[in-house]
Every structure is written in structure tokens, then in C-alpha cells.
Amino acid sequence: MTEKLQSFEPATGTLLWEGLQGDVDAEVERAASAWPLWAAQPVTTRMEAMRRFANAVRGREDALSDLIARETGKPLWEARMEVSSVIARVDMHISTYSERTGQKRMEGAMNSRQSVRHKPHGVVAVIGPYNFPADVPAGQIIPALIAGNAVVFKPSEKTPASGAMLVDLLHEAGVPRDAVRLLVGGAEVGKVLVKHEGVNGVLFTGSARTGIAINRALGAYPEKIVALEMGGNNPLVLWDTPDLAAAAAIIVQSAYGTSGQRCTAARRLIVKDSLASGIISELRKLIARLIVGPPHANPAPFMGPVIDNETADGLGESFMALMNMGGRPLVHLARPDEARPFLSPSLIDVTPVAQRPDIELFGPILQLVRVADFDAAIREANATRYGLSAALVGGSPQHYEQFWRHVRAGMINWNGPTFGIGGSAPFGGVGVSGNHRPGGGYAADFCAYPVTSSEAEQPRASIGIGLAPIDTSAMGD
């Protein structure tokens, strides 16, 4: 019997969506049957389909925003920002695809020419996360379709309704129904999809554990393109600055936006000793004012619940574990209703913890570490296997130059949040945060591959060395 999948609203526990788990073989087969015809279309035709998709999203912007807010628990204003980002991605990916895969022609020897053009991989699996259930997968589906691939999209099992609506809008825009397929299912479905012989590429966004498992599973399949974006244990360093109130606002945005459920969220606040008491005071004042509530509340909340009760339970256990290791709570992690996954923003001083765990606490927990000098701050920032994002707040241009040169991360900001990357910039990290396949404006790089050709309209060739003399005696009179 096919398993049923259900999605519940985190804020209320209400059943939002239910459907049957998908058939991997059937969905990959349908995508494989569609992609040659889709790839044969002119790239301008595929780009125009993406523009129609942007218009389809605009036409149902309110409905999609409401669905995302209810399914993830994020505030409605933030869900609207996510949908706006989906729309903006279309023009961005059209532009960057043209820039990064533009055809090149060069003159060759003997009146030939050399060209570089790009081909799609075939069928690509896009595996999306729950925190941005429309924007993140759109950032891979759009360039994959522009390149001429067919897509099998598996949304997170925690946000299937948002994923289903995204696919519906693509079909509404005229993308052939078999060129983009929705595959609903949990982790086991994802495992089968990744290793399916009909899948030519895997584009994954999610936890490091799952990403590493995908990388291992595909180690014997070099013919498959694999792009991994896996989050981070991101550092934010606070150094000399006269404006601690502004610094506190940046820290709060970095650590607690989307209830701390951003892969780029600040997890570790590394502070110069002399600034610690001042910034703790500012953070306490600001945290006390943050509204935590359901997505449609009035006044609008700063953040909503985490995705589900299991996640909230795990974060509570992690906070207690840090305390048991010697961490000193500065703002406790509170859960006002044990039946629902609402958590308050928290701050804990882990400076006394000798062996700080290098894990991604995917929620509103910020760990503070005090250091004596800037070299120690950089060492602390690099004390992680991850390498997604990092930020320096305060400091001089010389401090920032040193920070940029020595901190290992794919995104490094100065006097801005850890997540402040947008437009056509690449998005990705190093270490266990990614496998050097950044998305964003660089997504075209893993959606198509370059083909180099030497071309001539007529065959012209001769062999000038290494041939035996012609034996004229055998030629007769």
C-alpha cells in the first residue's frame, strides 16, 4: 500500500495537506521521456516559459504567501518576501545563464573554427528544504529548466503543499507536465531518487548529514553532477564599534530571523572581551521586545515557531546540553506551550565550555564566545568543519581585510548580517557546507556542461610524416 504523507501547520497543529507518497520510477521515467523535446526547444523559448512562470506566481502571490506562512509557521510578511524572491529569480537566472553559458566561437587552423556551447545533463533531481520551500528550490529548478534539463522535484516531507503549488505554477506557465515532476515522500524516497539510474544530476539543499550521505552514495557515479548546499555553524565577530545598538540589531537579524532556521544564520557570536557586557545588555533589551507568534498575528511577529515539535524538543535538549557542559545562560530558551513548537530567542555564553560542539543548531540559539584579541577571534571563527557564511561587525578596514583573508567561508560580510547575499551573487560554502558548487547567480554552472568543438564545413586533412614511400612497382604500367 502506498504510504500517505501529511503536513500540519506548526502554529496550530491543523492538518494542512495530505497526499500519497510518489513513485520514483514512474516520475523519473516521465521526466526522461520529456527532456529531449524540452532540450530541443530554443533557449529563448525556455526562458519565455520562465517569464510566464514569474507572471503566474504574481497572479497567485497572496495564495502562495499564505500557504508558505501556514506550512512553515514563518510570519506572513516574511512569506511574502520569499514569494517576491521567487519572482525576481527568473530575470536573474535568465541573465546569469546567458553570461555564464554564452556561446563562444574562435578561428581554428585550416579554415576551421572552434566553438564552446553548453548541453543539459538530462534528468536532474532537486531536493528542497523546509525553511524556504519555494525560493530555494526555485533557485535550482529555474536554471535547470532554462538549461534544458527535465526536473524531478522532491520537496521536504515537512512542506509538500508549498512544493506542490510551485510545480502547479510551473505547469500553469506552460512548462510541459512531464518536464517538471513533483515527487512527494520522505527520506527513503529521497535515497531511491538520488541513486536512480535515470537521474543524471542531484541538486540538494539541506542538512550536512544528508548531504554527506548523498555524496558518499554517489561516490562511485562520477557521471552524475552533484551540487550540495548544507548549512553552517556560522560565526559573527563583534569588534570595536561605537554603535552597539546597531550591532545588536544586526546580531538579532542574523541569529533569530526565520526562527534561526536559515542555513546562513549566525550560530556563534564571537566578542571582544571589553565589549561583552555592553553587547549583552543591548541584546537582552532587544530580545525582550521581539514578538514570537503565529504567522497571521496582529501586530506582526518577528518570528514564528520552528517547523515542528520534534525540532523544538531537540533544540531544548541541545540548550540543556550546553548548560551541562558549563555554558552560562544569558537569555533562556523558553517554550511557552509544550504542545506547539514556539521557542523564544536565546543566548548562552559558552566561553567556559572546553569542547564546544561543532554542530548546526537549526533554531533560535546563539552561542557567545569571548576572546582577548583579533587573532583569537579568527581562530574561533575557523573552529568549525563548516564554511558557509561569516560576518564581522565593527573593526577597521584593516581588520576586515584580515578577516576576509583568513576566515574560511563562501560568504563573508562586513557590518551586515550573515545572510546578506542577494542579486546575482554566488551562494555556497566550503568544508561540510558545500562541494564547491555555489548556487545563486552561479547555478548555471551545475545545470549545463560545456562542450568544445572543432568544426569545418569540408574535410581537409593530410598526413605529412610517418608514412612509408609509395611502392610504384606494384602500380603497374
DSSP letters for 403-459 = HHHH---SEEEESS-TT---TT-EE--SGGGBSS--EETTTHHHHEEEEEEEE-SS-
First to last CA, the chain: 84
Distances 313 to 295, 298, 337, 338, 378 between C-alpha atoms, Å: 21, 27, 12, 9, 32
Residue with cell 553532477: 225
Distances 202 to 43, 94, 219 between C-alpha atoms, Å: 22, 21, 12
Catalytic residue among 229, 282, 360, 380: 229
DSSP letters for 327-363 = -EEEE----S-TTS-----EEEE-TT-SS-------S
Catalytic (active site) residue 447: no
User: Nearest to residue 248, comparing CAs of 397, 131, 393?
Assistant: 393
Helix (H, G, I), strand (E, B) or coil at 160: helix
Catalytic (active site) residue 229: yes
* Distance separating alpha carbons of residues 151 and 56, to the nearest angstrom: 19
C-alpha cell read off for 40 = 530541443
Residue with cell 533560535: 364
* Distance separating alpha carbons of residues 255 and 249, to the nearest angstrom: 10
Helix (H, G, I), strand (E, B) or coil at 370: strand
* Distance separating alpha carbons of residues 211 and 262, to the nearest angstrom: 16
Distances 95 to 101, 289, 386, 408, 441 between C-alpha atoms, Å: 10, 41, 30, 29, 9
Catalytic residue among 263, 282, 360, 380: 263
Residue type, position 27, single letter:
E
DSSP class of residue 388 equals S
Query: How many CB atoms sit inside 10 A of residue 267's CB?
Result: 25
Helix (H, G, I), strand (E, B) or coil at 169: helix
- For the annotated catalytic residues, the residue numbers are 229, 263
